[in-house]
Structure 1
Amino acid sequence: MTDNTKTHVILLSCGSFNPITKGHIHMFEKAREYLHKTGKFIVIGGIISPVHDSYGKPGLVPSRHRLTMCQLAVQSSDWIRVDPWECYQDTWQTTCSVLEHHRDLMKRVTGCILSNVNTPSTTPVIGQPQNETQTAIYQNHNTMNNKPTAIKLWGKMSESMGKICCVRSYLIHVLFVYWVSNFCLPIYCPELRILLLCGSDLLESFCIPGLWKDSDMEVIVGDFGIVVVPRDGVDTERIMNHSSVLRKNKDNITVVKDDANHPMSIVSSTKSRLALQHGDGHVVDYLNQTVIDYILQSQLYINASG
């Protein structure tokens, strides 16, 4: 398959990121590597979307800290960025709503065909282009060959974004469009998909009665699709067979097979918080040093519960 006929993919990961760990970044890297090996996909970007403060999880530190830690964790990446939209809403957003938001915004600014385009979304889209002129300006930027510069600009400017109020929505849109405009999109892009990236623990949660709305699961798995990075010893096939929604949409679920068998336990934010609270030197196995430095400077998690 040529690059123009492959499905171009953006990986979206939702979660607390409380704090973000080396494992979270590892999931992105392994997913991209595996999807490229299939010969069917080209991963052009990754998005980390931390959950809203009102999620109510015990020990969840304010989003301004979680956003900063995420930005520090990906500051050297030229394809993964942190998106503050979910944190900046009035209240907690479902995973389905976050996916729909990014789908709607991506479709508007790229003009590519995205998954689930026939289903109207009720989620607000911050800073959408309001006329064709803005969209055309964006599309002309696709010829630019300065992706690393754009990524660095996003990283530097987004660090101070939390301090901006009245123009925050506009800046989010401008930076988002500038970042997307440097994706490696071909002149003819037949399909662009946003796939939910998750661990097998989220896949297991789909099987818990009443935890997810059936309609949301249908949209997430059926319309968008998910990429699952298994944790050690988890039988993803058994999990998928346990849920009628997962069984029905098996073709939309990609399970990352990793021959190297890297320990996905380093994804655990819980273990990293416990290590911090106990002064365990093994915290360096879980967290990037820049994240550790920020945590210590801000005195996070030291006396936190959960």
Structure 2
Amino acid sequence: MTETIKTHVILLSCGSFNPITKGHIHMFEKARDYLHKTGRFIVIGGIISPVHDSYGKPGLVSSRHRLTMCQLAVQSSDWIRVDPWECYQDTWQTTCSVLEHHRDLMKRVTGCILSNVSTPSTTPVIGQPQNQTPPIYQNHNNMNHKPNAIKLWGKLSESLGKICCVRPHIERFTFVDENANLGTAVRYEEIELRILLLCGSDLLESFCIPGLWKDSDMEVIVGDFGIVVVPRDGADTERIMNHSSILRKYTDNIIVVKDATNHPMAIVSSTKSRLALQHGDSHVVDYLSQPVIDYILQSQLYITASG
């Protein structure tokens, strides 16, 4: 399967990241590896979106700290970025609204549309915007220089960084001006691009709790976007999905990451990380990267049980 036929994917992970752990980053890497092995997908980017301060979770530290820790955790990654949009809103945002924001934002900054899971794969949904001059790449002897989706993601990340909204203490973060126009300089091949929600099996299981999620939101998240699930502690994802009529309805839109190794909950759990910090447990280095640990100690975070 050629690169232009494969579905190009941006993985989006929402959560408290209080603090962000090695396991959170490992989930991205594990999901990307698995999607590539299927031969159907190319992962061109990853987005970490920390939750708003008004989420109300006990012990949730300020988004200023959580954004900084997330940025420190991905500073060596060339494909995962931290997005502060969710934290900058007036109040808490649903996962559904975060997905829709990033889909709409990509439409605006590229001038093109993104597909959802019901879009036929034979239909090109990312390409040269309509009503503009033809693509400049007409020399078929020089096709290797034609930008692919991965180059597009790099170009967008670079451009979005230049038009970031500078805010106190978090100037390093990409914040996109929704009225920004990147112009017509970026031209690229026609590809199919989707934003998929990346989550652990614990979030998948939460879909089965009556009243916790709106059915309409679940329809959008699983039906329109699709999700990639990284099982934790040997969770039986098939059993979980059988407990929800909506998950059963959209089984084909749920990609369960499978490999020979288990993904232990301990290295993902922010709760276990906070407890290790409070008790001075040396195993905290198994959960958190050193830059994140250094920042936590410097800022005196999670020292008490209340956060």
TM-score range (shorter-chain normalised) is 0.7 to 0.9
- 1:34-56 per-residue CA deviation (whole Å, 9 max, x = no partner) reads 00011111000000000000000
Deviations 1:215-248 (CA, angstroms, capped at 9, x unpaired) = 0000000010000000012110000001000000
Is contact 2:50-2:67 (8 Å) kept?
yes
Q: Which portions of structure 1, spanning 4 or more consecutive aligned residues, are displaced by more than 3 angstroms?
A: 142-158, 167-171
Deviations 1:172-202 (A, max 9, x none): 338x988xx99xx95111x210000000000
DSSP-derived class of the 1:198 partner: strand
Mapping 1:220-235, distance limit 5 Å? 220-235=221-236
Please state how far the C-alpha of 1:263 moved relative to its aligned partner: 2.4
Tell which deviates more after alignment, 101-110 or 250-259. Answer: 101-110
Q: Which runs of 5+ in 2 are unaligned?
A: 120-128, 138-145
- State the one-letter code of the partner of 1:172: V
What residue identity is the alignment partner of 1:259?
Answer: A
Deviation at 1:115, TM superposition (A): 1.8
Matches within 5 A, 1:191-206: 191-206=192-207
Quote how far apart the aligned CAs of 1:169 are: 12
Structure 1 gap ranges (5+): 119-131
Partner of 2:264: 263
CA deviations over 1:116-169 (Å, ceiling 9, x no partner): 899xxxxxxxxxxxxx9xx99xx99x95969779868978997x944189x999
Residues 182-221 of structure 1: matches in 2 within 5 Å? Answer: 187-189=189-191, 191-221=192-222
1:92 is aligned to 92
Partner residue of 1:172?
Answer: 176
TM-score by length of 2: 0.81
1:133-172 correspondence runs (5 A) = 143=147, 161-163=166-168, 172=176
What is aligned with 2:142? none
Distance 1:75 1:152 in 2: 15
Instruction: Report the CA distance between 1:305 and its aligned residue.
Output: 2.3
Q: Distance in 2 between matches of 1:270 and 1:62?
A: 16
What is the CA RMSD across the aligned residues, in angstroms? Answer: 3.5
Question: Residue in 1 aligned with 2:306?
Answer: 305
Count residues in correspondence. Answer: 280
The SS at the match of 1:247 is: helix
Does the 8 Å CA contact 1:116/1:223 hold for their aligned counterparts?
A: yes
Contact 1:9/1:44 (CA < 8 Å) preserved in 2? yes
Determine whether 1:285 maps to 2:286.
Answer: yes
Cα distance in 2 for partners of 1:150, 1:271 equals 36
Q: Aligned partners of 2:160, 2:27: CA distance in 1, in Å?
A: 22
Contact in 2 for aligned 1:226/1:254 (Cα 8 Å): yes
Equivalent residue letter for 1:194 = I
Note the alpha carbon deviations across 1:19-64, whole angstroms, 9 max, x for none: 0000000000000000001111100000000000000000000000
Q: Distance in 2 between matches of 1:113 and 1:52?
A: 26
**TM-score, L = length of structure 1:** 0.81
Residues 1:37 and 2:41 are matched in the alignment:
no
Q: Deviations over 1:77-129 (max 9, x none)?
A: 000000000000000000000000001111222214322899xxxxxxxxxxx
How many angstroms apart in 2 are the aligned matches of 1:292 and 1:264? 19
Instruction: Decide whether the 8 Å contact of 2:200 with 2:230 is kept in 1.
Output: yes
Q: 1:64–1:162: 8 Å Cα contact kept in structure 2?
A: no
Partners of 1:262 and 1:269 lie apart in 2 by: 15
Q: 3-state DSSP class of the match of 1:101?
A: helix
